Amino acid sequence: MAISLDSVSVGYGDTIVLRGVSLEFREGSFTFLEGASGAGKSTFLRLLRMDLLPAEGRLRLFGEDVMAAGRDDRAALRRSLGLVFQDFRLVPWLSALENVALPLRLGDEAGGVADDYASELLEWVGLGEKCGEYPERLSGGERQCVAIARAVITRPRFLLADEPTGSVDGETARKLMHLFYSLCDGGTGVLVATHDAALAGDGCDRLLIEDGQVKRQ
């Protein structure tokens, strides 16, 4: 099991945002996490990527108990996750290729190897001709495609995407969802947080956050 939660509650200070969550996510699964703005979708993703720790209950990532893991162990677990943010979080002074290659370069991968793989991924997301462009010269959809390529360059076992289509038009949103489905077909688990229920396709798992609870639909 990639991720499991057993009666997990989480919040900020004395304020509990989500309570008593018990769920499991398999590698190769595709799940939509739906809910209104402010319902707790981003908090749930922050929990899964260990930016927040449970106030109660047990969270396991790839069989490891997060609360029992030390800082180095959590860092290693985090490297098994890919992260896609609504606001892209690209480095403005790096080109598209350099942004995508950055995780490998930070991991001491040889520059040439990192750049070659980054170039392949930019081809995969349809931006092979824009490797040298800087973020300010790219559209919102193109920036999100770069962010997706960067998120998967380390071959994560599970991908977390927070409102990845919130800043793009409908056609680009469908393209991005196709990329996520392609990842899932390759064995990567995918969890997409969204307020747009229309994005959910047939056969996908669907979760709803409401009143501090996370429920399967």
The mean per-residue pLDDT over the stretch 202-214 comes to: 86
Alpha helix segments (H runs only) across the chain:
41-48, 71-78, 96-106, 111-124, 140-152, 170-185
Q: Answer yes or no: is 31 within a domain.
A: no
pLDDT band at 98 (very low <50, low <70, confident <90, very high): very high
CA pair distance 101, 69, nearest whole angstrom:
29
Domain of residue 114: give its range.
91-155
Is residue 135 predicted with pLDDT exceeding 80? yes
Residue with the bigger pLDDT between 66 and 1: it is: 66
Q: Answer yes or no: is 64 within a domain.
A: no
For the chain, what is the domain count? Answer: 1
Is residue 181 predicted with pLDDT exceeding 80? yes
Is residue 108 predicted with pLDDT exceeding 70? no
Q: Answer yes or no: is 19 within a domain.
A: no
Give the predicted TM-score (pTM) of the model.
0.90
Q: Answer yes or no: is 166 within a domain.
A: no
Q: Answer yes or no: is 97 within a domain.
A: yes
pLDDT band at 50 (very low <50, low <70, confident <90, very high): very high
Helices (H) and strands (E) in the chain, counts: 6, 10
Q: Answer yes or no: is 99 within a domain.
A: yes
- The pLDDT value recorded for residue 39 is 87
Average pLDDT, the chain: 89
Q: Answer yes or no: is 101 within a domain.
A: yes
pLDDT band at 86 (very low <50, low <70, confident <90, very high): confident
Q: What is the DSSP letter of 162?
A: E
What percent of the chain stands above pLDDT 90? 59
